[in-house]
Homo-oligomer: A and B are copies of this chain.
């Protein structure tokens, strides 16, 4: 350790205590990155503050010394927003993981940013309520990170995004100032809502130190339909037909290719014999006989219209969970194929045409690549996964995928879509930000960053340079 580094560690230890500063190589590796693998973590140190005051002191110190800070939550990010690749100090929120307060009338929980998503989900359930934001990494992801990327997941169509559940937020800006935003109010028309500016800002404007999260009513008897389709276009008719008659809480999709991988890898049964090119998974709450009758009659209508080839409906919670696995296990299943992931979105109605166009682009340029489609078709968010052929070296594969990305994002742009629907921009999507945001918007974002973080201390180099 250099003398400069020793002096830095000593100063950090004064703020958070000596046990809370890590410089061993394992800690630097673990805390210095998220789930992405494109960048080598190289933080200079990791600190684990235990209070808002310690976070403020760290930010003030970083301002004095012009040290860059990278926030670290559950490290499940998929855009590299929590990667410290340039000698930054990582500020990990693992110790600030307490649920501080709960009010049953307001249905609000006050949480520290290090509370794990599943911890809040479980807490809500214990109180007879429901925290509806859910996704594959909810067992590890932390609320601070969820808010930083405005996490979405599988229930967006019914319950919205993380944004919709943030009722209040305490945040330390890049100057060390503590802002107490919105204070759990439902209605508050007193000027610019800075809370919404911080949501999705990936730690570039400030670090969240407390969150007041809203909770929902528990869902009743979630029931799952899986339907086989020949054509992707049909999914739009199916969505519209169901939404006209019942409240849909999830509307997911996956391809036959995705299904085959999951079945083979996880030893699951096919939902039914009939093969489609695509499948939709629809979830709704079985609140009454009338709802169930409506769902059945929409299903029959979809069959009659030829939109749906076959289908099955869960009869109980166990069956519902089994059907969900066909969709939820895809990501894990294909991870051994070193997938190149794209998380893109367009308006819901444009999904079929968009998907066809992107599929054609990849197939024509790289006929040997296997493409696995799945995602949240009900909210326009599709995950495009390109699997690495065994014959191709990882570097060459990623290089070729990087090339084709420009064509994919040209399509995204022409459809008015987003190059990152729910994973954020971080380091990985930074080169492609201009496909979704104009130069004027990016210039305004830079200006806002300068206001909140004049010394460029807070997660610098993420989203934009």
Interface residues of A (CB under 8 A from B): 103-108, 128, 149-150, 152, 156-157, 160-161, 163-164, 173, 177, 179-181, 183-194, 196-197, 199-202, 205, 217, 236, 239-240, 243-244, 247, 287-291, 345-349, 376, 379-381, 416-425, 429, 433, 436-438, 440-442, 444-445, 447-448, 451-452, 463-464
A156 to B189, CA, bound (A): 14
What are 13 pairs between A and B in contact, CB < 8 Å?
A104-B240, A150-B193, A179-B438, A179-B440, A185-B380, A185-B421, A187-B380, A189-B423, A190-B436, A191-B441, A193-B200, A194-B444, A217-B243
* A345 near B187: Cβ-Cβ < 8 Å: yes
Q: Contact check: which of B152, B291, B422 meets A288 at CB < 8 Å?
A: B291
Known: A183-B347, A217-B243, A348-B105. A189 touches B452 (CB 8 A): no
- Of A161, A418, A452, most B-chain CB atoms within 10 Å: A418
| A205 CB to nearest chain B CB (Å) | 8
A376 cross-chain contacts in B, Cβ below 8 A:
187
A197 cross-chain contacts in B, Cβ below 8 A:
192-193, 196-197
A442 to B71, CA, bound (A): 26
Known: A190-B437, A444-B451. A240 touches B105 (CB 8 A): yes
A185 cross-chain contacts in B, Cβ below 8 A:
345-347, 380, 416-418, 421
* B433 near A190: Cβ-Cβ < 8 Å: yes
A427 to B445, CA, bound (A): 28
Closest B residue to A348 using CB positions: B106
A104 to B205, CA, bound (A): 38
A150 to B190, CA, bound (A): 10
| A250 CB to nearest chain B CB (Å) | 13
A239 to B240, CA, bound (A): 33
* B193 near A349: Cβ-Cβ < 8 Å: no
6 closest residue pairs by CB, A with B: A196-B196, A288-B288, A105-B349, A186-B379, A187-B421, A188-B418
A191 to B46, CA, bound (A): 26
Known: A188-B421, A217-B247, A451-B448. A416 touches B196 (CB 8 A): no
* A381 near B345: Cβ-Cβ < 8 Å: no
A187 to B217, CA, bound (A): 23
